[in-house]
Chains A and B, each alone.
Chain A
Amino acid sequence: DGGITQSPKYLFRKEGQNVTLSCEQNLNHDAMYWYRQDPGQGLRLIYYSQIVNDFQKGDIAEGYSVSREKKESFPLTVTSAQKNPTAFYLCASTSGGYGQLTNTGELFFGEGSRLTVL
């Protein structure tokens, strides 16, 4: 079954703990993205990666870190430095990375991970 898989769906953590959210895709997409979705604020870009071993900060990268060691995987770590980590996190991917013209702008999204920090 092709697509994007995020895990876990729900996660509870204590304040001060780092948390890693998983995102895996088998669509052979080059580019992957992490968004944060808050009520009334829409989707805000945290980090994105257009090719393996390379990634860029989005609009709200502070307190987050990512890695892109494999094409299929783009995990997001929410660190203790993130001031307001409780949110719904969405991972997405699309075809076409740097220098490629196949990026049509259509993002394929995972089902999301809801993180609650107690």
Chain B
Amino acid sequence: AQRVTQPEKLLSVFKGAPVELKCNYSYSGSPELFWYVQYSRQRLQLLLRHISRESIKGFTADLNKGETSFHLKKPFAQEEDSAMYYCAFQGSARQLTFGSGTQLTVLP
């Protein structure tokens, strides 16, 4: 069965420090992975997807098939990055399975 694991429920870093939000998946096929973000009082929205290999708001995520990971990284965190982050996985059924989320707090 496909599963997405986000081991950290809460993560706090200081402004300007690097941040890494962990995501691991279990799936036997070729996965499509995404990061979604929910800022305070805003809708849940797509941040980035692995197939695009893009950097959004300074965030990047690399799919590591050997480690079955898709960690989200940013070299210098900003206070406006404080939000709930969800890793999500799309398998052959074309439905998204979400992880349990990580609440990121960037301290001043």
What residues make up the interface of A, taking CB atoms closer than 8 Å to B? Answer: 31, 33, 35, 40-45, 48, 50, 58, 90, 92, 96, 103-107, 109-112
Contact = CB atoms under 8 A, between A and B. Distances in A.
Main secondary structure of the interface of B (DSSP, over half): strand
B11 interface: no
Interface in B45-64: 45-46, 49
B95 A33 contact: yes
B97 A105 contact: no
Interface of B: 6, 9, 32, 34, 36, 43-46, 49, 86, 88, 90, 94-101
B34 A105 contact: yes
Q: Select the residue from B9, B94, B101 with max chain A CB neighbours within 10 A.
A: B94
A-B pairs, top 6 by smallest CB distance, nearest first, are A42-B100, A43-B98, A109-B44, A105-B90, A42-B101, A106-B46
Contacts of A112: 43
A58 to B, nearest CB: 7
A104 B95 contact: no
Contacts of A90: 44
B46 A40 contact: no
Contacts of A96: 94
Contacts of A45: 95-97
Contact of A48 (B6, B45, B49, B95): B95
Given A58-B95, A104-B49, 4 more contacts: A33-B95, A105-B94, A106-B49, A109-B45
Contacts of B44: 43, 90, 92, 107, 109
Contacts of B9: 40
A110 B43 contact: yes
Nearest to A48: B95
Given A42-B86, A43-B86, A111-B43, A103 B100 contact: no
A111 B41 CA distance: 9
B96 A105 contact: yes
Contacts of A48: 95
A107 B49 CA distance: 12
Given A42-B86, A90-B44, A105 B98 contact: no
